[in-house]
Amino acid sequence: MNVLGKLLGKESPFEQLTEHLEKVMACVDLVHPILEAALEGNAAEVKRIAQEIFLLEHEADVVKNRIRDHLPRDLMLPVSRMDYLAFLRAQDGVADNVEDLAMMLTVRQLRLPCGEADGTCRDQLLFLANHAVKASRSVAAMTRRIDELKRAAFTGPVADELRAAADEVSRQEFECDKHQFKLVKAILAEEDPEWPFASSYTLMEVIRALGKMANHAESMSDYLRLMIAD
């Protein structure tokens, strides 16, 4: 390979980033199905969807490791190498937290201690999942425009649109924080002496996984901002 080819690389690192993204988003698309199956008490469906998530997360890890292992330090990138790898780590974190969600839903049946009569707890949990998924999909749409952004030299109207999109991701993450607070408060208010600690722990971990999923989506949008700033 000639010197220029070595510096530019055979395949764009951003194409590989998109390949990894599609595996991550395939995991995200299964968040609502597995959560709804768990809330309905359909253990067989939870297990089936969880196995699909585990496989997709593993495939995402394979792509992530390939990117890390074949990203030469002398490769020419239009953005900071550090920002690129941090973005990849945050993107992978989204899939990791979907995997965590699936794992918790398979090890113990999900039970809701709060507001079961009027569905308050169930609604809050679904709202939390909805905002986490929305944040992930919003930042995915931003990521799919990286090639367009690259052609614009990471400046101009495209960059402005992505900054506005990053603001929307932050708003979705903030909504997640609010629903997390309400859910945790309701769980800690449960005083039924027969309510098992393990059920509270499982629910708290489910909430935590959804919240961290949104946090990683926000981190992705933050790193995109840094790329634009570079």
Report pLDDT digits (tens) over 71-91.
Answer: 766 555 666 778 889 999 999
At the fourth CATH level, which superfamily is domain 12-229? Answer: Phosphate transport system protein phou homolog 2; domain 2 (1.20.58.220)
d(CA 165, CA 48): 34
Residue 131 predicted with pLDDT over 50: yes
- Reported as type and span, the H/E element at residue 198 is helix 197-229
Angstrom distance (rounded) from CA 49 to CA 34: 6
**pTM of this prediction?**
0.87
Q: Quick one: tokens of 168?
A: 């929307």
What are 140-192's pLDDT values in tens digits?
998 888 777 666 666 677 778 888 888 999 999 999 999 999 898 888 887 77
